[in-house]
Amino acid sequence: MAILSFCSVLLAITTGGIIVVEKISSTIEDETGLRAMAIARTLAQSDEIQNNIGTPDGTSYIQPLAERTRLATGVEYIVVVDMDGIRYSHPVEDRIGKRFNESDLVPALANNEYISRAEGVLGPSVRAFVPVKVNEGTRQVGVVVVGILTPTISFLLRTIQTELYYSLGIGLLVGLLGSIFMARKIKSGMFSLEPKEIARLLEERVAIFQAMSEGIIAIDTNSRITVANKEVQHLLNKTNEEIVGRNIMELIPNSNLPEVLRTGKAQINSQMYINDTAVLVNRVPIRFKEEIVGAVATFQDKTEANRLAEELTGVKAFIEALRVQNHEHMNKLHTIAGLIQLEKYERALDYIYDLTEEQQEITGLLTKNIFDHSIAGLLLGKYTRAKELRAELIIDHKTRLRELPSRLETGDLAIIVGNLIENALDAVRLVEPARRKVYFSMYDQHDSLSIIVRDMGPGIPEEKHELIFQQGFSTKGSSNRGLGLFLVKRYVHLAGGSITLKNLVDGGVEFNIYIPKKEDVNITNSEQEGEK
């Protein structure tokens, strides 16, 4: 980098020197022309020239005057000619009386004064042509020509050779030292990387950035989009040129990045929709030297994550159901074994028939009416879980689930149903055995999905109806609680739905959830309410 900088300085100094010399040469030539013109005008107004030009013995008066002036001013030559171009003066006396044949005399004979440049035997020269006029300038009788040699560029270089070399030497030394200093300064600011290394590193970063399966978008302090990778372009169905430079609120009004920019607080693992696509989003402020200079968000399509989560939810639900059933069946086997030992064979058979009928009824209801195996497994697990807690989960035989709302994923529904039932079972745990009942209904209608969960517990005071949906609040007062209903409300609002609760006259609480299947819901408000 230092060598490149030094070469740049050398080129700049050389180019500057050439330009300066050319400028000096041009300036000298212009000044020489003005000087020649002044001398020519003075001679043209001389009485000796005006009175003697065109006369037979005019040379004897004009030549001495011209030579005295030439020697006094240091010009190369002074030539006076009449209207026929006949010379009346010349440094070489043999040429006096002969015709001035050069073509640039013609305009001067037409009463014009001017400066011309010509290349002669002695080198380039500047010549001034001034008409000689008499009778108060009404009649032209001749022309005065004054010629001065102009220095060539090589002559100028020879003249200032010592000063030029001295100046170039100092300039190159300063340039070299400055190049070394600037190279070190720049390199330290670029982490000691060479330009090629920086270019390669940038190409690698861009390739990685564009190849990521997550969408990445960043904004500056004015909420203008500075970068967006291909995944974001795909989500927005726009080109990079249509995205970069625009305000984030124009393209993704529910991005919440301006809020992150304002507060400086990251928002992790949120959910939102972009063009009807559910995505998981992380929002993080960009800091440089403790100053927030922007914000970045990553979007991950929730489809694949939901698929794995649904599988995991279903597997966990069935495992929990099997665990509880295994525990419960051990107790039932002990009961059957006891009846047989007591030789109560008929009673044992009736007991077995009752167990079989009950299990077949709940299993048949769930497999027939619930299309999603994860939700069916969850309900079966909660059913057996209730029995383990010596409570009863009563599932309405009209419960149906054929199609999910467009903005509700299976995993979200599992969180809603699972938390509501678990809270209800928790509420009836301490009441008398006859009231340990939880009722569950789910109605899949043409335009909506409704869920009702009712328990016969002690109820919730009216003043706490809004508080229970806040993160960390719990009627039990435990530090490890207060998340379930917060998540329920969050996912209901993300789906564009609503949740209400009321205390029952006979005691207990009823939760009602309504989720529309239409897509014209306010996702921005839903997400913001869900994250409060």
Domains located in the chain, CATH noted: 2-156 (3.30.450.20), 214-302 (3.30.450.20), 304-531 (3.30.565.10)
Confidence of residue 522 (pLDDT cuts 50, 70, 90): very low
| Residue 308: predicted pLDDT | 56
| Residue 525: predicted pLDDT | 38
Confidence of residue 526 (pLDDT cuts 50, 70, 90): very low
**pLDDT value at 449 more than 90:** yes
**pLDDT value at 443 more than 90:** yes
| Residue 530: predicted pLDDT | 41
Q: Which 3 state secondary structure label does DSSP give 393?
A: strand
* Beta strands in 221-259, from DSSP E residues, in sequence order: 225-228
| Residue 335: predicted pLDDT | 74
Sign of CA dihedral 312, 316, 322, 325: negative
Q: How far is CA 470 from CA 100, 478, 529, in A?
A: 111, 14, 11
In terms of phi and psi (left: phi > 0; alpha: psi -120 to 50; beta: otherwise), the region of 212 is beta
Confidence of residue 212 (pLDDT cuts 50, 70, 90): confident
The percentage of residues in the chain with a pLDDT greater than 90, rounded to a whole number, is 35
| Rounded average pLDDT over 347-367 | 73
Angle between helices 484-494 and 523-531 (to 10 degrees): 170
Confidence of residue 162 (pLDDT cuts 50, 70, 90): low
| Residue 424: predicted pLDDT | 93
Confidence of residue 67 (pLDDT cuts 50, 70, 90): very high
Confidence of residue 531 (pLDDT cuts 50, 70, 90): very low
Q: Report the predicted TM-score, pTM, of the whole model to 2 decimal places.
A: 0.46
Pick from 449, 446, 428: nearest CA to 437:
428
* Beta strands in 445-480, from DSSP E residues, in sequence order: 448-455
In degrees and rounded to multiples of 5, residue 112 shows phi and psi of -120, 140
Rounded distance, CA 301 to CA 494, Å? 16
Confidence of residue 479 (pLDDT cuts 50, 70, 90): very low
Pick from 417, 451, 416, 454: nearest CA to 435:
454
Contact 482, 471 (CB under 8 A): yes
The 10s digit of each residue's pLDDT in 233-284 is 888 889 989 999 999 999 898 889 999 999 999 988 788 888 877 788 899 9
CB atoms within 10 A of CB 121: 4
| Residue 499: predicted pLDDT | 94
Higher model confidence: residue 479 or residue 98?
A: 98
CB atoms within 10 A of CB 473: 16
Antiparallel, parallel or unpaired: β 225-228 and 392-395: unpaired
Rounded distance, CA 62 to CA 53, Å? 8
Average pLDDT of every residue of the chain: 81
